[in-house]
Amino acid sequence: MLITGASRGIGAATALLAAQAGYDLLLNYARDAGAAQALVDQIRPLGVNVQAVQADVSSEADVLRLFAVLDEAFGRLDVLVNNAGVVARKSALRDMDMARWQAVFGINVLGTLLCSREAVRRMAAGASIVNLSSAAARLGSPNEYVDYAASKGAVDTLTLGLSRELAEQGIRVNAVRPGLIDTDIHASSGQPDRMVRLAPQIPMQRGGSALEVAQAIVWLASGQASYVTGALLDVAGGR
């Protein structure tokens, strides 16, 4: 299993759960080598092959290098989890600039496309891709980050199209759409109190955990979901 953006949050939780299920792991990270190495050290006692590789998924050269490491170290790919994603600071559209959009779409959309392309070139029947979308694709995130929401809408569309493109080859493609989840993505958008502030709007009256999202990802990746493809699975507490 290759997990992009694996050094923290949902990516790290997915890596731990996948390791417990017996997956060998290639963990991609963008900047935080210390966090990535700490995760490798935490996983290694579980007895699986695990390695961390730095790469910016919005860079084609970096993605090609990442998959070259995969080829050499593992020789095969059964699962790709397109988890790497970014959100910019809270803003209305009128105040956004091109640099922001290029960063958001570069990682969230082009990164998912690049990694999916390289994965498909290596996958055989029984393999699967799990994309990380967001409930924002449904909700639009007005006055917060409509650009992020739009990028995740693109991930939804890619999931649907690619699932149909690969179905006859026996490769499944699904997406998980997390809602309000307790990770540091809220602080990175300048809203560290977002979990507490928005919890009353959620039917379950609470935010979710990274582990709850990871459980959905690992299930979709597994043979237990063998007849599931093209699904957009909301993990959003009913919101």
Return phi, psi of residue 227, to 5°: -110, 20
Q: Which of 23, 29, 148, 227 is catalytic?
A: 148
Where in the chain are the domains? Answer: 2-235
Query: Above 80 in pLDDT, residue 219?
Result: yes
What CATH topology corresponds to 2-235?
Rossmann fold (3.40.50)
Respond yes or no: is residue 227 known to be catalytic: no
| Whole-prediction pTM | 0.95
Q: How many CA atoms lie within 13 A of 106 on its CB side?
A: 14
What digits encode the pLDDT tens for the residues 162-184? 999 999 999 999 999 999 998 87
Six-digit token string for 113: 């496309």
Helix/strand/coil for 182: coil
Query: Above 90 in pLDDT, residue 76?
Result: yes
Strands 50-54 and 25-29 come out as parallel
